[in-house]
Structure 1
Amino acid sequence: MRAIAFTVAATLLTGTAIAQTAPVPAPAEPKVFVSVEESSALVSSLKGLDVRNSGDESVGEIEDFVIAGNGFDSYILSVGGLLGMGKHYVAVSPSALAVTWNASDKKWNARINATKEQLKAAPQFKYEGRFAK
Protein backbone atom coordinates (compact mmCIF):
# COMPACT_ATOMS: atom_id res chain seq x y z
CA MET A 1 0.00 0.00 0.00
CA ARG A 2 2.88 2.30 0.87
CA ALA A 3 4.45 1.61 -2.52
CA ILE A 4 1.24 2.63 -4.31
CA ALA A 5 1.00 5.86 -2.32
CA PHE A 6 4.65 6.61 -3.08
CA THR A 7 4.10 5.96 -6.83
CA VAL A 8 1.00 8.21 -6.93
CA ALA A 9 2.81 10.97 -5.05
CA ALA A 10 5.86 10.69 -7.31
CA THR A 11 3.65 10.83 -10.42
CA LEU A 12 1.81 13.91 -9.16
CA LEU A 13 5.03 15.67 -8.22
CA THR A 14 6.62 14.83 -11.56
CA GLY A 15 3.55 16.08 -13.42
CA THR A 16 3.60 19.31 -11.43
CA ALA A 17 7.29 19.78 -12.10
CA ILE A 18 6.78 19.29 -15.84
CA ALA A 19 3.86 21.73 -15.87
CA GLN A 20 5.92 24.35 -14.06
CA THR A 21 8.86 24.10 -16.44
CA ALA A 22 6.86 24.16 -19.70
CA PRO A 23 7.77 27.28 -21.72
CA VAL A 24 5.17 30.04 -21.86
CA PRO A 25 4.74 31.50 -25.35
CA ALA A 26 5.60 35.19 -25.65
CA PRO A 27 2.64 37.50 -26.33
CA ALA A 28 2.21 38.41 -29.97
CA GLU A 29 3.47 41.83 -30.95
CA PRO A 30 0.65 44.16 -32.07
CA LYS A 31 0.61 45.12 -35.73
CA VAL A 32 1.93 48.57 -36.45
CA PHE A 33 1.46 48.76 -40.21
CA VAL A 34 -1.49 47.28 -42.07
CA SER A 35 -2.76 47.05 -45.63
CA VAL A 36 -5.90 48.94 -46.60
CA GLU A 37 -8.35 46.73 -48.46
CA GLU A 38 -9.72 47.92 -51.81
CA SER A 39 -13.27 47.52 -50.41
CA SER A 40 -12.56 49.97 -47.56
CA ALA A 41 -13.78 53.56 -47.36
CA LEU A 42 -12.14 56.68 -45.97
CA VAL A 43 -14.17 58.56 -43.38
CA SER A 44 -13.45 61.78 -45.27
CA SER A 45 -15.16 60.29 -48.35
CA LEU A 46 -18.33 59.44 -46.42
CA LYS A 47 -18.81 62.55 -44.26
CA GLY A 48 -21.68 64.56 -45.74
CA LEU A 49 -22.87 61.62 -47.87
CA ASP A 50 -26.59 61.71 -48.65
CA VAL A 51 -28.47 58.78 -47.10
CA ARG A 52 -31.42 57.43 -49.06
CA ASN A 53 -34.09 54.89 -48.21
CA SER A 54 -35.56 52.05 -50.31
CA GLY A 55 -37.99 54.55 -51.91
CA ASP A 56 -34.93 56.53 -53.10
CA GLU A 57 -35.90 59.44 -50.83
CA SER A 58 -33.18 61.46 -49.14
CA VAL A 59 -33.64 60.88 -45.40
CA GLY A 60 -30.48 62.45 -44.00
CA GLU A 61 -26.74 62.60 -44.36
CA ILE A 62 -23.72 61.13 -42.62
CA GLU A 63 -22.55 63.74 -40.16
CA ASP A 64 -20.04 61.86 -38.04
CA PHE A 65 -18.64 58.51 -36.90
CA VAL A 66 -18.31 56.99 -33.43
CA ILE A 67 -15.27 54.93 -32.52
CA ALA A 68 -15.50 52.79 -29.37
CA GLY A 69 -12.32 51.14 -28.19
CA ASN A 70 -10.59 49.96 -31.34
CA GLY A 71 -13.73 49.53 -33.42
CA PHE A 72 -16.29 51.44 -35.41
CA ASP A 73 -19.46 51.75 -33.32
CA SER A 74 -22.00 53.90 -35.18
CA TYR A 75 -22.79 56.51 -37.79
CA ILE A 76 -24.23 59.85 -36.67
CA LEU A 77 -26.85 60.98 -39.19
CA SER A 78 -28.28 64.46 -39.45
CA VAL A 79 -31.99 64.42 -40.20
CA GLY A 80 -34.26 67.31 -41.10
CA GLY A 81 -33.48 70.94 -40.68
CA LEU A 82 -33.06 73.69 -43.22
CA LEU A 83 -29.85 75.65 -43.66
CA GLY A 84 -28.45 74.14 -40.48
CA MET A 85 -31.47 75.06 -38.34
CA GLY A 86 -33.52 72.36 -36.60
CA LYS A 87 -31.17 69.48 -37.38
CA HIS A 88 -31.81 66.29 -35.45
CA TYR A 89 -28.91 63.88 -34.98
CA VAL A 90 -29.33 60.13 -34.51
CA ALA A 91 -26.81 57.33 -33.97
CA VAL A 92 -27.38 54.28 -36.14
CA SER A 93 -25.68 50.91 -36.14
CA PRO A 94 -23.18 50.26 -38.94
CA SER A 95 -25.27 47.21 -39.87
CA ALA A 96 -28.33 49.45 -40.44
CA LEU A 97 -26.60 51.50 -43.13
CA ALA A 98 -25.50 49.93 -46.41
CA VAL A 99 -22.57 51.93 -47.78
CA THR A 100 -21.49 50.90 -51.27
CA TRP A 101 -19.19 52.14 -54.01
CA ASN A 102 -20.65 52.60 -57.49
CA ALA A 103 -17.75 52.08 -59.89
CA SER A 104 -19.62 53.36 -62.95
CA ASP A 105 -20.23 56.86 -61.55
CA LYS A 106 -17.33 56.69 -59.04
CA LYS A 107 -19.50 57.67 -56.07
CA TRP A 108 -20.33 56.32 -52.64
CA ASN A 109 -23.96 55.51 -51.85
CA ALA A 110 -25.65 55.04 -48.48
CA ARG A 111 -29.00 53.30 -47.93
CA ILE A 112 -31.02 52.75 -44.78
CA ASN A 113 -34.29 50.91 -44.29
CA ALA A 114 -36.06 53.79 -42.51
CA THR A 115 -38.24 56.75 -43.35
CA LYS A 116 -37.43 60.35 -42.51
CA GLU A 117 -40.22 60.24 -39.91
CA GLN A 118 -38.71 57.14 -38.23
CA LEU A 119 -35.31 58.82 -38.07
CA LYS A 120 -36.80 62.03 -36.65
CA ALA A 121 -38.59 59.95 -33.97
CA ALA A 122 -35.41 58.05 -33.04
CA PRO A 123 -33.53 58.93 -29.83
CA GLN A 124 -31.53 62.07 -30.41
CA PHE A 125 -27.75 62.19 -30.27
CA LYS A 126 -26.50 65.47 -28.85
CA TYR A 127 -23.13 67.09 -29.42
CA GLU A 128 -22.48 67.97 -25.79
CA GLY A 129 -20.18 66.99 -22.96
CA ARG A 130 -17.25 65.01 -24.28
CA PHE A 131 -18.94 64.96 -27.71
CA ALA A 132 -19.20 68.76 -28.02
CA LYS A 133 -17.85 70.08 -31.30
Structure 2
Amino acid sequence: MKKLALIAASLAVLATPVLAQDAKTTGTAPAEAKFSTVSKDEMFSSKLKGLNITNQKDETIGEITDLAIKNHQVDALILSVGGFLGMGERYVAVPPSAVNVRYDTKNNKWLASMNTTKEALKEAPEFKYPK
Protein backbone atom coordinates (compact mmCIF):
# COMPACT_ATOMS: atom_id res chain seq x y z
CA MET A 1 0.00 0.00 0.00
CA LYS A 2 2.89 2.33 0.80
CA LYS A 3 4.36 1.65 -2.66
CA LEU A 4 1.06 2.55 -4.28
CA ALA A 5 0.85 5.81 -2.32
CA LEU A 6 4.46 6.63 -3.21
CA ILE A 7 3.82 5.96 -6.92
CA ALA A 8 0.63 8.07 -6.84
CA ALA A 9 2.45 10.94 -5.13
CA SER A 10 5.30 10.75 -7.67
CA LEU A 11 2.87 10.84 -10.58
CA ALA A 12 1.06 13.81 -9.05
CA VAL A 13 4.32 15.72 -8.78
CA LEU A 14 5.22 14.88 -12.39
CA ALA A 15 1.78 15.88 -13.65
CA THR A 16 1.78 19.34 -12.04
CA PRO A 17 2.92 22.23 -14.22
CA VAL A 18 6.48 23.32 -13.78
CA LEU A 19 6.90 26.75 -12.25
CA ALA A 20 7.85 29.36 -14.80
CA GLN A 21 11.57 29.99 -14.90
CA ASP A 22 13.68 32.34 -16.93
CA ALA A 23 14.91 30.59 -20.05
CA LYS A 24 18.46 31.86 -20.04
CA THR A 25 21.46 30.30 -21.64
CA THR A 26 24.44 30.54 -19.39
CA GLY A 27 28.06 29.72 -19.87
CA THR A 28 30.34 30.14 -22.82
CA ALA A 29 31.26 27.87 -25.69
CA PRO A 30 34.65 26.22 -25.46
CA ALA A 31 37.42 27.97 -27.35
CA GLU A 32 37.68 25.10 -29.85
CA ALA A 33 33.97 25.27 -30.77
CA LYS A 34 33.36 26.49 -34.29
CA PHE A 35 30.13 27.95 -35.54
CA SER A 36 28.98 28.62 -39.07
CA THR A 37 26.77 31.14 -40.70
CA VAL A 38 24.47 30.02 -43.48
CA SER A 39 23.36 32.32 -46.27
CA LYS A 40 19.88 32.13 -47.76
CA ASP A 41 21.15 30.92 -51.14
CA GLU A 42 22.92 27.81 -49.85
CA MET A 43 21.64 24.35 -50.73
CA PHE A 44 20.09 22.28 -47.95
CA SER A 45 19.72 18.51 -48.03
CA SER A 46 15.98 18.93 -47.48
CA LYS A 47 15.79 20.81 -50.82
CA LEU A 48 18.05 18.31 -52.59
CA LYS A 49 16.24 15.18 -51.45
CA GLY A 50 13.29 14.47 -53.75
CA LEU A 51 14.61 16.72 -56.51
CA ASN A 52 13.92 15.33 -59.99
CA ILE A 53 16.89 15.07 -62.34
CA THR A 54 16.50 15.86 -66.01
CA ASN A 55 18.86 15.19 -68.91
CA GLN A 56 19.92 17.27 -71.90
CA LYS A 57 16.64 16.36 -73.65
CA ASP A 58 14.68 17.70 -70.64
CA GLU A 59 13.48 14.17 -69.77
CA THR A 60 13.12 13.24 -66.12
CA ILE A 61 15.65 10.45 -65.59
CA GLY A 62 15.63 10.00 -61.83
CA GLU A 63 15.18 11.51 -58.41
CA ILE A 64 17.67 12.27 -55.66
CA THR A 65 16.62 10.12 -52.71
CA ASP A 66 19.61 10.27 -50.39
CA LEU A 67 23.13 11.54 -49.75
CA ALA A 68 26.12 9.40 -48.84
CA ILE A 69 28.60 11.25 -46.61
CA LYS A 70 32.20 10.19 -46.14
CA ASN A 71 34.97 12.09 -44.34
CA HIS A 72 32.64 15.05 -43.68
CA GLN A 73 31.82 15.51 -47.39
CA VAL A 74 29.07 14.36 -49.72
CA ASP A 75 30.58 11.28 -51.36
CA ALA A 76 27.63 10.27 -53.55
CA LEU A 77 24.08 11.14 -54.45
CA ILE A 78 21.72 8.18 -54.33
CA LEU A 79 19.28 8.31 -57.23
CA SER A 80 16.05 6.42 -57.69
CA VAL A 81 15.81 5.40 -61.35
CA GLY A 82 13.69 3.27 -63.68
CA GLY A 83 10.52 3.06 -61.68
CA PHE A 84 6.94 4.01 -62.31
CA LEU A 85 4.68 4.92 -59.39
CA GLY A 86 7.13 3.30 -56.97
CA MET A 87 7.25 -0.02 -58.84
CA GLY A 88 10.46 -1.36 -60.36
CA GLU A 89 12.65 1.45 -59.11
CA ARG A 90 16.25 0.81 -58.21
CA TYR A 91 19.00 2.91 -56.73
CA VAL A 92 22.21 4.16 -58.31
CA ALA A 93 25.04 6.03 -56.59
CA VAL A 94 26.64 8.85 -58.59
CA PRO A 95 29.35 11.36 -57.65
CA PRO A 96 28.03 14.84 -56.79
CA SER A 97 30.08 16.28 -59.66
CA ALA A 98 27.93 14.29 -62.14
CA VAL A 99 24.81 16.24 -61.17
CA ASN A 100 24.43 19.93 -61.94
CA VAL A 101 22.31 21.51 -59.19
CA ARG A 102 21.33 25.13 -59.66
CA TYR A 103 18.78 27.63 -58.45
CA ASP A 104 16.32 29.01 -61.00
CA THR A 105 15.66 32.54 -59.73
CA LYS A 106 13.03 33.18 -62.40
CA ASN A 107 10.86 30.28 -61.21
CA ASN A 108 12.11 30.34 -57.61
CA LYS A 109 13.06 26.65 -57.44
CA TRP A 110 16.02 24.27 -57.46
CA LEU A 111 16.83 22.24 -60.59
CA ALA A 112 19.09 19.24 -61.13
CA SER A 113 20.38 17.83 -64.40
CA MET A 114 22.78 15.17 -65.66
CA ASN A 115 24.35 14.58 -69.03
CA THR A 116 23.13 10.98 -69.39
CA THR A 117 20.18 8.90 -70.53
CA LYS A 118 17.52 6.83 -68.78
CA GLU A 119 19.03 3.72 -70.36
CA ALA A 120 22.53 4.48 -69.05
CA LEU A 121 21.19 4.89 -65.52
CA LYS A 122 19.18 1.66 -65.82
CA GLU A 123 22.41 -0.15 -66.81
CA ALA A 124 24.50 1.42 -64.03
CA PRO A 125 25.52 -0.76 -61.07
CA GLU A 126 22.71 -0.97 -58.51
CA PHE A 127 23.29 0.65 -55.14
CA LYS A 128 22.07 -1.35 -52.15
CA TYR A 129 22.00 0.09 -48.67
CA PRO A 130 24.42 -1.67 -46.31
CA LYS A 131 22.81 -3.65 -43.52
Note whether the superposition's TM-score is higher than 0.5: yes
Distance 2:83 2:35 in 1: 41
- Using the TM superposition, give the Cα deviation of residue 97 of structure 1 relative to its aligned residue in structure 2, in angstroms: 0.2
Distance 1:109 1:115 in 2: 17
Q: Which runs of 4+ in 1 moved over 3 A?
A: none
Indicate the residue corresponding to 2:35 in structure 1: 33
- Using the TM superposition, give the Cα deviation of residue 39 of structure 1 relative to its aligned residue in structure 2, in angstroms: 4.1
Which whole-Å deviations, capped at 9, do the CAs of 1:75-128 have from their partners, x for residues lacking one?
000001122111111001111000000011111000101100000100110124
- Using the TM superposition, give the Cα deviation of residue 38 of structure 1 relative to its aligned residue in structure 2, in angstroms: 4.4
Q: How many residues align?
A: 101
CA RMSD of aligned residues (A): 1.4
Distance 2:99 2:107 in 1: 20
Of 80, 84, 90, 1:82 maps to 84
Gaps of 5+ in 1: 1-28
Indicate the residue corresponding to 1:110 in structure 2: 112
Are 1:47 and 2:52 an aligned pair?
no
Secondary structure of 1:86's aligned partner = coil
Indicate the residue corresponding to 1:65 in structure 2: 67
**Percent identity of the aligned residues?**
48
Of 76, 94, 97, 1:95 maps to 97
Distance 2:32 2:100 in 1: 30
Gaps of 5+ in 2: 1-30
Indicate the residue corresponding to 2:27 in structure 1: none
- Higher CA-based Rg: 1
Distance 2:44 2:128 in 1: 24
- Using the TM superposition, give the Cα deviation of residue 69 of structure 1 relative to its aligned residue in structure 2, in angstroms: 1.6
Which whole-Å deviations, capped at 9, do the CAs of 1:32-66 have from their partners, x for residues lacking one?
21122444201001111110001101100111101
More helix by share: 1
